[in-house]
A and B are shown apart, each in its own frame.
Chain A
């Protein structure tokens, strides 16, 4: 039959194509290995001396003899750099071998790792900078020459070719899979880095002194963030207490009581609110809300305006769109049958909303509140512009600094332990948010379980 002949022909063509791909991958891989070792790889420029090294030299040579203005010394090559170079070459060889042994998937993985090694070399050579500063040389330039870039590109190309020998389908699936793992990888990286950057300060200052200390004074090396923690909590709770009821009622308006024409007008308004950049909220707060608070007669000139209250007001406004849209969606998802049953029993439409629709939508509403809480705790720019940013214990009309603003305010000029302490605040904030998210999710899941019983 002609069909089977055709498939035999195309099968033969596929095999030939595969041979080409394999051959190409092997050849490129070999060149990669050679490049690693014998071609000039990196150029280091120390003040007046230039060293151009190849991979082989990076791996084997002890270090660079460098002449500083007064001292001269041996700048050693970091161990990790040596290991990365050797690993890169080994992985390239492994890739070639695995490909010839008909294990294309593993070959692909090996090639990719070999291609990444130049990046790791880049990262690890940063240690050289610190060694060099000890010799009073302020800066070194590290240039990457073409061979290094070739290794990177060859690694990826060889990897793609080896995976391709299994057919376009598997290649595409592998590529999609690799990209999907970016979010997993980045969360892991972020967690690792936040902890790595924040932990040292906490260990130096002491967890108790840090979290429960009430004084934040960088010059005096006092790093207590209790005021920041309490202010963040106060701001978030205030924003939620103010924003959630208004948000839910507005959602009720949109989903249940408004005439369709009116709802069509209000809807885009809410979407617009959601898209306004935080700095604009902060700007508005700074120019309108802060003076309003300052001049508000009942406050009797006790406040300069920049205050926790201003932060709460602006955070409540920012949290509104989220609450409204999530609640509206949840209300619209409540089956009409429940409303009919309620009305048929003699309840008014309004009672039906509050006694049937809203309870039925409660898990969705809770999810919206969680999102709102996340937004409020994490907001930085808008709060900086309205809260006064002095690290006091929270008082409604007094200036406050939150965890977020605490980081942003001093990051630009902090150094040493001060800077490490700022990273530690980031760590505390991160842990906080994780706890809030996890506990809320747990509570909402338990709520759903109880309903199902």
Chain B
């Protein structure tokens, strides 16, 4: 199977500090890939290189190649807004806009030029269904999004990301701020999403990775120590450091 995303010799520097060291990865299409590892080891940073959110940071320098469907996303010809449409992101803390639910979800399509009210209505409903939120909120679309619970807000953010029709969904510790019930709901959702999208999730919760990921990458101090399918990683890790992390001896 062809890989959707290919990372080759990626090095990332925040000023003098090297956050990512020679990262190489082939991320498969239509699967859930998890990045695990202790805090501050570069998982989120690596995730953000995939949709160039690192561009926001002042002293950030990148060498190496990151390609999606064969195209280098750091090529000067790249349209960053289009890239971010193709690779949507869900953040650790749910961050719905201070607008109505409808406007939250319609924001993305509107920004990309869709003005037709009917089309927007369809997109809103479709996205909310895909995020398993439609039934709960279909009667309060015109109310403020800030009135939802934490778990609902996060699913709203997922729906909002789905509304622009991405191929890839990047999730940066999406359930770490949520209660267990909401967490399980979102994990179920991720399970369904894999059919249409390529999902990459950063998590510091190993059990979560074990539950939902097809492939797992273990990051340590900016390097990938091991990258293999989840079953092998948790039952038969090749690297000693992986084994120590998984059995809880550090991290």
Contacts and interface: CB of A to CB of B under 8 A. Distances in A.
B81 A452 contact: no
Contact of B97 (A351, A356, A453): A356
A360 B56 CA distance: 20
Contacts of B82: 346
B143 to A, nearest CB: 6
Interface stretch (B107-115, B189-197, B230-238): B107-115
Interface in A309-348: 335, 337-338, 340-348
A331 to B, nearest CB: 14
B157 to A, nearest CB: 7
Given A341-B97, A341-B157, A360-B97, A346 B111 contact: yes
Interface string B126-164: 000000000000000001101100000000010011001
Nearest to B143: A453
Interface string B24-63: 0000000000000000000000000001010010000000
Contacts of B88: 344-345
A352 to B, nearest CB: 9
B111 A337 contact: no
Nearest to B95: A337
B64 interface: no
B13 to A, nearest CB: 21
B144 A345 contact: no
B180 interface: no
A338 B98 CA distance: 9
Interface residues of B, number: 29
A346 B95 contact: no
B84 interface: yes
A345 B53 CA distance: 11
Contact of B91 (A341, A355, A452): A341
Contacts of A347: 81, 107-108, 111
Contact of B160 (A335, A345, A453): A345
Q: In the complex, which of the residues B53, B81, B144 has the most CB atoms of chain A within 10 Å of its own CB atom?
A: B81
Contacts of A335: 95
Interface string A352-389: 00011001100000000000000000000000000000
Interface residues of A, number: 21
A451 interface: yes
Contact of B144 (A340, A356, A360, A451): A451
Contacts of B146: 451-452
A345 B85 contact: yes
Interface string B84-101: 110011010101111100
A340 B82 CA distance: 16
Interface in A400-453: 450-453
Contacts of A345: 84-85, 88, 107-108, 111, 160-161, 164
A340 B81 contact: no
B139 to A, nearest CB: 14
A449 to B, nearest CB: 10
Contacts of A351: 111
B17 to A, nearest CB: 21
B84 A343 contact: yes
A340 B107 contact: no
A452 B144 contact: yes
A452 B144 CA distance: 7
B85 A343 contact: no
B91 A346 contact: no
A356 B108 CA distance: 12
Contacts of A348: 81
A344 B161 contact: yes
B107 A355 contact: yes
Nearest to A345: B108
Contacts of B147: 452-453
Contacts of B81: 346-348
A326 B108 CA distance: 29
Contacts of B51: 344
A53 to B, nearest CB: 71
A1 B177 CA distance: 55
A341 B111 CA distance: 13
A337 to B, nearest CB: 4
Given A343-B84, A345-B160, A451 B111 contact: no
B72 to A, nearest CB: 19
Interface in B69-90: 81-85, 88-89
B161 A346 contact: no
Contacts of B107: 342, 345, 347, 355-356
Contacts of A344: 51, 53, 84, 88-89, 91, 161
A340 B91 contact: yes
A346 B112 contact: yes
A343 B170 CA distance: 14
B159 to A, nearest CB: 12
A345 B112 CA distance: 9
Contacts of B143: 453
A364 to B, nearest CB: 13
Q: In the complex, which of the residues A343, A355, A451 has the most CB atoms of chain B within 10 Å of its own CB atom?
A: A343
A452 B143 CA distance: 9
Given A337-B91, A338-B95, A338-B97, A346 B108 contact: yes
Nearest to B92: A337
A346 B99 contact: no
Nearest to B85: A346
B108 A343 contact: no
A343 B164 CA distance: 12
Contacts of A342: 97, 107, 111
A453 B142 CA distance: 9
Contact of B99 (A337, A343, A359): A359
A356 B160 CA distance: 14
A71 B108 CA distance: 91
B112 to A, nearest CB: 6
Nearest to A347: B111
B56 A453 contact: no
Interface in A200-226: none
10 contacts: A341-B91, A343-B84, A346-B83, A346-B84, A346-B85, A346-B111, A356-B97, A359-B99, A450-B144, A452-B146
Given A342-B97, A343-B56, A348-B81, 18 more contacts: A338-B97, A340-B53, A340-B91, A340-B95, A341-B91, A341-B97, A345-B84, A345-B108, A345-B161, A345-B164, A346-B81, A346-B85, A346-B112, A356-B97, A356-B107, A450-B144, A453-B144, A453-B147
